[in-house]
Amino acid sequence: MSYRARRRFLWVTFLGGLALALLVAIATNGTTLSRLSFEELAQKATAVARLRCVSSESKWDGHEIWTETRFVVIESNKGSLNSLVNVRMPGGSIGGLHSRVDGVPAFRPGEEAYVFLWTREGEPFRILGWSQGTFRISRDARTGREKVTQDAAAAAIYQPQTRQFVQEGIRSMTGADFRLKLKQALISTLP
């Protein structure tokens, strides 16, 4: 390949990659989530519940991949929920194609979490604040006690007041302490 042909090939490749990146950015409608306090999550949520993942399936909707996750309700803390809840979030995997949206939680069957849900009339449930509204439940291997950790505790979230990205959130809180915190936050949202 001549120098001129190679140079042209590199420019075409570069411009094609740039155009593809631009199309992806437009298609994903880039999102920056602002930090929500625990009390704001409790106030803005349509429903709050302890859920166990039953199944998760990704599907095409238009030109985007969405994942529908089915949960069984273990404990309902706010709102009216059926015994099974479907949650729809952007991203997922179909065949060899993977679409990942930062901050969107993914669940495996058997996992349990406290989830802050929201919906609009005629729309499926979503998780409020994505990773901010997801609190995974695990067991301490030594004591057997439940521990609750917010997915957002590992992610940098934008704080508009300081114009900085920070890592905050609930990490390894005992199940009893989390339930108390949740109860207090929900009481504070009552009129």
pLDDT tens for residues 85-140?
999 999 999 999 999 998 899 999 999 999 999 999 889 999 999 999 999 999 98
Task: Please name the amino acid found at residue 142.
Answer: R
The pLDDT-based confidence of 18 (bands split at 50, 70, 90) is very low
Class for domain 32-188, per CATH?
Answer: mainly beta
pLDDT at 154: 80
- 107 in helix, strand or coil? coil
Q: Residue ranges of the domains in the chain? A: 1-30, 32-188
According to DSSP H, which parts of the chain are helical?
3-28, 38-44, 175-188
Total residue count of the chain as it appears in this document: 191
